[in-house]
């Protein structure tokens, strides 16, 4: 692991690091904010998964999360959204390939040698930060935006006991029924609809739900509402009687202006779960 940068931030440190990933078979970069409390011992961890076209840097610089995390004494991890490098397959479109890993393990060519973002976020990166930094992996929570909201919800529901809470900003909520999903899941996972279902938050909510609190914010003026399909997830939450808060926010779109507006609510929501006995 190499340190790219470390900057003082709200009494703690915002770092950027790179490492050789055996999961993705390339070098991967991530951001990690550690509050001041990490100098005295391990602190809880909140994962932030970003959306299409993003790197680790977008949320790290635009979401305004570090100040709220510093108040709560929790760490923030900002993984990249896909593998990178000259040997990594890509596509001309913005919504497939680099910057669009969709948090799945690809089984189809040309994607399968590198696009294993599920295992990277669920296994390799937690093990690395647990070994290298003062974080408490018994106290984890997860959030994300758009494609990252999809990833946060599907990881949380598929890994029971891993995360104490889950939230999402404008998640891709029903990808197996959306053009933001059919294309990517078909490319990465092939034609097997059962494989798609394992990465669909609406279907997972109907089948499994989440053993803990859920918070979802969706901008009512989001320009991608037809692709996100929040109504499908809201219906599944209601039918499952899931412990959840689902908020439609009037006037807000899909941008980081929306994310940063409600970031304090999300960090506070997760801190309550992370610091509970």
Q: What is the 3-state secondary structure (H, E, C) of the chain?
A: CEEEEEEEECCEEEEEEEEEECCCCEEEEEEEEECHHHHCCCEEEEEEECCCCCCCHHHHHHCCHHHHHHHHCCEEEEECCCCCCCCCCCCCCCCCECCECCCCECCCCCCCCCCEHHHHHHHHHHHHHHHHCCEEEEEEEEEEECHHHHHHHHHHHHCCCCCCCEEEECCCCCHHHCHHHHHHHHHHHCCCHHHHHCCCHHHHHHHCCCCCCEEEEEECCCCCHHHHCHHHHHHHHHHHCCCEEEEEECCCCCCHHHHHHHHHHHHHHHHHHHCCC
Is there a contact between 68 and 268 (Cβ–Cβ < 8 Å)? yes
Indicate which residues carry an active-site annotation.
146, 222, 254
What is the Cα–Cα distance from 110 to 272, expressed in whole angstroms?
42
């Amino acid at each position: 692991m190499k340190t790219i940068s470390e900057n003082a931030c709200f009494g703690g440190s915002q770092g950027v690091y790179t490492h050789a990933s055996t999961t993705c078979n390339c070098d991967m970069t991530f951001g990690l904010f550690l509050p001041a409390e990490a100098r005295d011992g391990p602190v809880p961890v909140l994962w932030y998964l970003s959306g299409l076209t993003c790197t680790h840097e977008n949320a790290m610089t635009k979401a305004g999360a570090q100040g709220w995390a510093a108040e709560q004494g929790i760490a923030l991890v900002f993984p990249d959204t896909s593998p990178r490098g000259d040997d990594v397959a890509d596509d001309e479109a913005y919504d497939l390939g680099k910057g669009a890993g969709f948090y799945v393990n690809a089984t189809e060519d040309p994607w399968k040698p590198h696009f294993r973002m599920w295992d990277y976020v669920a296994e390799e990166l937690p093990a690395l930060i647990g070994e290298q930094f003062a974080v408490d992996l018994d106290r984890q929570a997860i959030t994300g935006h758009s494609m990252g909201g999809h990833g946060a919800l599907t990881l949380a529901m598929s890994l029971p006991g891993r995360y104490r809470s889950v939230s999402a900003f404008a998640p891709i909520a029903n990808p197996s029924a959306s053009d933001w999903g059919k294309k990517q899941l078909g490319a990465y996972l092939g034609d097997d609809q059962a494989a798609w279902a394992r990465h669909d938050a609406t279907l997972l909510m109907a089948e499994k739900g989440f053993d803990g609190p859920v918070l979802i914010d969706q901008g009512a003026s989001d320009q991608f509402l037809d692709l996100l399909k929040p109504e499908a997830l809201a219906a599944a939450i209601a039918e499952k009687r899931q412990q959840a808060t689902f908020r439609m926010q009037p006037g807000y779109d899909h941008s980081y202006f929306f994310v940063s507006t409600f970031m304090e609510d999300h960090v506070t929501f997760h801190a309550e779960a992370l610091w509970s006995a």
